[in-house]
A and B are shown apart, each in its own frame.
Chain A
Amino acid sequence: MTFGPLRRIAVLAAAASLIALIADPALAQEAKPPAPTPNKGDTAWMMTATALVLLMTVPGLALFYGGLVRTKNMLSMLMQVFFAECIVVILWVLYGYSLAFSEGGSFNSFVGGFSKAFLAGITTDTNAETFSDGVVIPELVYVCFQMTFAAITCALVVGSMAERMKFSAIALFVPLWATFVYFPIAHMVWYWAGPAATVAASKALAAAAGDAKAAAQTALDAVTANAGLAYQWGALDFAGGTVVHINAGIAGLMGALIVGKRVGFGREAMAPHSLTMTMIGAALLWVGWFGFNAGSALEANGTAALAMINTFVATAAAALAWMLGERMTKGKPSLLGGASGAVAGLVAITPASGYSGPMGAIVLGIVAGFVCMFFCSTIKNKMGYDDALDVFGVHCIGGILGAIGTGILAAPWLGGTGAFDYTAGKIGDYDMMAQLITQAKTVALTLVWSGVGSAVIFAIVKALVGLRPGTDQEREGLDLVDHGERAYNY
């Protein structure tokens, strides 16, 4: 998702074909390629992948989080995740898709426009480009696929404020955060003009001679410039390490800091009420993540297969690393450690899943397992904030490891794929140092945008409805206080 010149190429191609048309109508007609039609295999796979990403959120993430809270807050956790999914689905088709994946005029580097608001112009006959020139999927499928990403990212955030944030505050925070943080960041990292325009403009440039050369170059530049900021930088984020995980992780940290610690934190036992549920949730996350990562290829092809195997091995390696780390430091490997390690591995491999080789993915998984374990069990305790379900420690730290790791592991000499250069029509020369700098810049951009944006939104929500229930209500549990029901009636 790193190439921006597509739109400019389209303009150039149009100009070039116009010239050709004037010169020789017959030739122009012959040169015009037929409009691509979706491949049924690609379409079927992307619909399946979309449903798999929904599976990650409800029930996967809901159960993973729900098992980790106390009995009295189980329903509030399920409800917050469920609510985030539902509200973001609606926002997405109203204006979210348009803000993330349409051309944004003078703000195009940061956010899209409203040209596709209410899904304007999107029909069963419109298509979205994949990463191959001439390959498309129905745009409605693409809308749905990206919708599930927006929803799970918003749902991830709520885990850090678990057990102490009012539902009314969540209900206000999620739509604001999706609008001002998620949609712009998705646009910055993932929006580009697409392969067809890029390739066409590049070919036009190659074919141009003399005075036409400058015009063709200008047209190509216009296509490459029609992309989000991080995309123009050349950031590699295959399935959402920055957009989803760093983004949600830093927002979660801000939330945990602003809402404050749970009543009794550090003095009372807050043991998970059902690690069985947590294991079910973690397992569903792993299964669903094949849709998330392999689906991000947007086609049923070799890249999707690469993402699939990486999603297997990195996850397994990270789970084993976390278990081993616990065995070495605490004496016993725990199931929760294994499940947490699996999620950390999934997070870390997300941006690298279509770029790293499988052996690189194993290394990345091992590093993520150890580092996230150390962060959640040692550094977090030293710092003393109450990130209840370790959204920052797993998703932000794991996401940063993955984003930086992608810059290393994409290198062809380390078994990676390199990055495809659409203007050259081949895998580009890989400059690891330059790529690492680009990756670091993108991480910093996400941390700052999401960190500052989240803090401001939490402040607004606090001023409008308040963030916390009363101390007595918090002790009684959010299930009864917010929802008037309890999870278990024995």
Chain B
Amino acid sequence: MKLVTAIIKPFKLEEVRSALTDLGLQGMTVTEVKGYGRQKGHTEIYRGAEYAVSFLPKIKIEVVVPSGTVDKAVEAIVRTARTGQIGDGKIFVSPIDHAVRVRTGETDDSAI
């Protein structure tokens, strides 16, 4: 099992969700986050006052997938979340030791 954590542009969420669902993945957790990478921030001007806004709004998707599906899931996210512009986001993959479904007590692959 792997945890795929993807930081994407907010307006790409629906496309990414749809592509992951097509792979047969049955759930995900989504969080509204703020941050910056190479895109840095932008400048906002209110009358004469200029503010550098460093942290831009992004969406973080967390989805746990069976090890065999990881490459397909990552490929699906990259394909759907990409605009080609700076700020498209990042994907991190990390191992998951154990998983339990609360309702039934099922574990690991059958729990995700």
Instruction: State the A residues within 8 Å of B (CB).
Output: 68, 269-272, 330, 332, 334, 336-337, 340, 376-378, 380-381, 390
Contacts and interface: CB of A to CB of B under 8 A. Distances in A.
A330 B47 contact: no
A401 to B, nearest CB: 17
Interface string B23-45: 00000000000000000000011
A334 B49 CA distance: 13
27 contacts: A68-B46, A269-B51, A269-B53, A270-B49, A270-B51, A271-B44, A271-B46, A271-B49, A271-B51, A272-B46, A330-B45, A332-B45, A334-B45, A334-B46, A336-B46, A336-B47, A337-B47, A340-B47, A376-B47, A376-B48, A377-B47, A377-B48, A378-B48, A380-B48, A381-B48, A381-B49, A390-B47
Contacts of B46: 68, 271-272, 334, 336
Contacts of A68: 46
A8 B44 CA distance: 60
A27 to B, nearest CB: 67
A337 B46 CA distance: 8
Given A334-B46, A376-B47, 5 more contacts: A270-B49, A271-B44, A336-B46, A340-B47, A378-B48
Interface of B: 44-49, 51, 53
A332 B53 CA distance: 17
A387 to B, nearest CB: 10
B88 to A, nearest CB: 24
A381 B46 CA distance: 12
Nearest to A389: B47
Contacts of A376: 47-48
Contacts, number: 27
A269 B53 CA distance: 8
A489 B61 CA distance: 26
Contacts of A381: 48-49
Report, nearest first, the 10 A-B pairs whose CB atoms are least far apart.
Answer: A377-B48, A269-B51, A376-B47, A381-B48, A376-B48, A377-B47, A330-B45, A271-B51, A272-B46, A336-B46
B45 to A, nearest CB: 6
A378 B47 CA distance: 9
Contacts of B48: 376-378, 380-381
B54 to A, nearest CB: 10
A398 to B, nearest CB: 14
B62 to A, nearest CB: 23
Contacts of A378: 48
Nearest to B47: A376
Contacts of B51: 269-271
Contacts of B53: 269
A466 B45 CA distance: 33
Nearest to A331: B45
A61 to B, nearest CB: 17
Contacts of A336: 46-47
Contacts of A272: 46
A271 B44 CA distance: 8
Contacts of A380: 48
B14 to A, nearest CB: 23
A337 B48 CA distance: 10
Contacts of A271: 44, 46, 49, 51
Contacts of A340: 47
Contacts of A270: 49, 51
A340 B45 CA distance: 13
A458 B47 CA distance: 27
A337 B47 CA distance: 6
A22 to B, nearest CB: 69
B85 to A, nearest CB: 19
A415 B28 CA distance: 69
A361 B45 CA distance: 29
Nearest to B44: A271
Contacts of A337: 47
A377 to B, nearest CB: 3
Nearest to A394: B47
A127 B17 CA distance: 72
Contacts of A390: 47
A330 B53 CA distance: 17
Contacts of A332: 45
A381 B44 CA distance: 16
A381 B47 CA distance: 10
A330 B48 CA distance: 10
Contacts of A377: 47-48
A334 B50 CA distance: 13
